[in-house]
Amino acid sequence: MLMRYETFIFEDVNLKTMDANIQQKIDNWLSGNYDQTVKDAITALQKENPDELADAFYKNLEFGTGGLRGLMGIGTNRMNKYTVGMATQGYANYLKKCFSGEIKVAIAHDCRNNSRFFAETTANVFAANGIKVFLFEALRPTPELSFAIRTIGCKGGVVCTASHNPKEYNGYKAYWDDGAQMVTPHDENVIIEVDKIASVDDVKWSGGGANITLMGNDMDEAYLKMVKGLSVYPDVCSAQHDLKIVYTPIHGTGITLVPQVLAKFGFDNVHLVEEQMVPDGNFPTVVYPNPEEKEAMSIGLAKAKLLDADILLGTDPDSDRVGIGVKNTKGEWILMNGNQTAVLAFNYLIEARKTKGIARPNDMVVKTIVTTDMIDNIAAKNNVACYNVLTGFKWIASLIKEKEGKEKYIIGGEESFGLMVGDEVRDKDAISAVALLCEMAAFEKSKGRSLYSKLLDLYVQYGLYKENLVSITKKGMNGAKEIADMMEGYRSNPPKTIDGVAVAHLMDYELQVGKNLQTGESYQINLPKSNVLQFLLNDGTKISARPSGTEPKIKFYFSVNGKLGSISEFETAEKQLDDKVTRIAKEMGLK
């Protein structure tokens, strides 16, 4: 399975050099137009926990290219009414610069503590700026927000969520008029406008109530109808209506739509994980509400085993990521990683469209540069164009927009448990992914086999690919510098061999240059700049290094592959590839 190591840390605060700046910010809050309860909380922290107070004010919570994300609480470095309001004012100012006439936005939120409050705060600020707001009446999945933006004809949107982060976090994701998270130049221009908001006094907090419209069931039905239209084999779903499905929303928004969409697909043997069925921002049964984590799926796995189910599915709090569990050839329940799930989904749609005679010469699929190259191999052998983009579904959406009218987008995905089926939603969508994965399981069951068996067949046909991820956190204020130095070392002095195999190419996405290390030839990478390095080895191994933009963390993605002569050789071949990854990580000083 794909290994992931995630660590959330506080940065160290050098109080001697930052005291004056911190104190000035605290004084501004104590004397400014902030609620008295906030001022009382600051005063209490001054006496009881000055270190926590310093961390809350030593910097401003950054509005990055994806919006806001951080710990909830008082202070400039926290998610709260004021940081959300100031971000929204900057976003509203930019929308008004870009568009004339009536401007509409859609707003959604997940199950997290304060998410409804942040969504209403966002709605009030937009409305006070004369912008027409369509606010979901209650929690809804992120993909439905993307769908609503496109359906209503909005110029932008916001969803209040911190995705799969722990319960202490919340966030604010900003969208553009195509239903996707913003890309250049809009992301950078919004940041400029947000940075101009110097005070809460610059924010229009209220006075636009008439501009807010609540939405709910009608949008749900439109979205569900769209997802139902993605089915390739509805007759198979009807025939396999008793497919035994176990589903967990992990206390999140999936409960609002997943049971309904499975019913629309014709599945009537769906079992919910009761312990995780009720939306709850405290996520009482898990530490990380992330279907990538075995701990988050453990209750579902136990239920699937007890019921002898056909498939287990879990979605994260805002329902953009999906994890699945299946039985292997020994009857043991396992969790598939994101690359394996993507391989199955991409292959299913490519094969099914061809079999049904609906494939077109201009069909295309899209993946990210750190997602398994097995998908490229499958697409090439089926004469389907496969494009690679930077990490993040906003780049998949951007490519769809670029190719509209010229090529037909079928499916996109990335290794971090995200799929986007069809082009009516422009962000990763676990709701439609759950439906598709269940249809795939039904299709394989109609053939007398499982999804796991199908995966093994694909390994024999296209080669065995194994991926792994190691995430390293460098603590403290020097962490970012250590990571930068690490990247510069790889960039200026790349290894000539790794695990005894020659490094053929160095792909530098920051410089937008690829280099053949054996001939010295350089060539252009036609993607936006991103601080990612990739080493491509002569044997097909790919190693990617990608620092986080928000934390002192660097991720290393490993992809190795080899031939698989028969299914009986799988375990031996898999171990050889696992051992290879271990050797490479050790050689690079990561183990």
Same domain, 445 and 545: no
Same domain, 448 and 490: no
The yes-or-no verdict on residue 476 having pLDDT over 80 is no
Same domain, 423 and 489: no
Q: pLDDT, tens digit, for every residue of 238-248? A: 999 999 999 99
Query: Burial level of 506, CB count in 10 A (0-12/13-18/19+)?
Result: buried
Whole-number pLDDT of residue 63: 87
520-to-82, 379, 506, 513, 515 alpha-carbon distances in Å: 53, 30, 10, 12, 6
Whole-number pLDDT of residue 582: 95
Same domain, 300 and 388: yes
Whole-number pLDDT of residue 119: 98
Q: pLDDT, tens digit, for every residue of 114-165? A: 999 999 999 999 999 999 999 999 999 999 999 999 999 999 999 999 998 8
Give how far the C-alpha of residue 358 lies from the chain's centroid of Cα atoms, to the nearest Å. Answer: 30
Q: pLDDT, tens digit, for every residue of 170-192? A: 999 999 999 999 998 999 999 99
Whole-number pLDDT of residue 15: 45
pLDDT bracket for residue 315 (50, 70, 90): very high
Whole-number pLDDT of residue 8: 33
Q: Is residue 42 part of a domain?
A: no
The yes-or-no verdict on residue 503 having pLDDT over 90 is yes
Whole-number pLDDT of residue 3: 32
Whole-number pLDDT of residue 375: 98
By percentage, how much of the chain surpasses pLDDT 90? 90
218-to-221, 254, 478 alpha-carbon distances in Å: 5, 17, 51
424-to-14, 409, 586 alpha-carbon distances in Å: 48, 10, 44
Which among 341, 332, 300 is positioned nearest to 440, based on CA atoms?
Answer: 341
> Is 566 an active-site residue?
no
Catalytic residue among 146, 163, 231, 559: 163
Whole-number pLDDT of residue 20: 86
Tokens standing for residue 432:
């439609």
Q: What are the residues whose beta carbons fall under 8 Å from the beta carbon of 114, sequence distance 6 or more?
A: 72, 79, 170, 281
8-12, 107-111, 537-541: which has the minimum mean pLDDT? 8-12
CA quadruple 377, 379, 385, 388: dihedral positive or negative? negative
| CATH code at position 182 | 3.40.120.10
Q: What is the mean pLDDT of residues 483-501?
A: 93
Q: What is the mean pLDDT of residues 345-367?
A: 97
Same domain, 199 and 315: no
Q: Is residue 9 part of a domain?
A: no
Q: What is the mean pLDDT of residues 204-225?
A: 97
Whole-number pLDDT of residue 19: 82
Q: What is the mean pLDDT of residues 331-340?
A: 96
463-472, 504-513, 582-591: which has the minimum mean pLDDT? 582-591
Q: Is residue 7 part of a domain?
A: no
The yes-or-no verdict on residue 489 having pLDDT over 60 is yes
Q: What is the DSSP string of 362-402?
A: TEEEEEETTS-THHHHHHHHTT-EEEEE-SSHHHHHHHHHH
Look at residue 520 and give its three-state secondary structure: coil
The yes-or-no verdict on residue 16 having pLDDT over 50 is no
> Order of strands, edge to edge, in the sheet holding 156-160?
67-71, 169-176, 156-160, 104-109, 132-136, 212-215
Q: pLDDT, tens digit, for every residue of 32-90? A: 999 999 999 999 999 999 999 999 998 889 888 789 999 999 999 999 999 999 999 99
- Domain with 287, as residue range(s), is 223-462
Q: Is residue 200 part of a domain?
A: yes
Distance (Å, rounded) from C-alpha 410 to C-alpha 391? 18
Same domain, 269 and 177: no
Same domain, 271 and 296: yes
Q: Is residue 27 part of a domain?
A: no
N-terminal to C-terminal alpha carbon distance within the chain: 17
Q: Are 407 and 362 in contact (CB under 8 A)?
A: yes
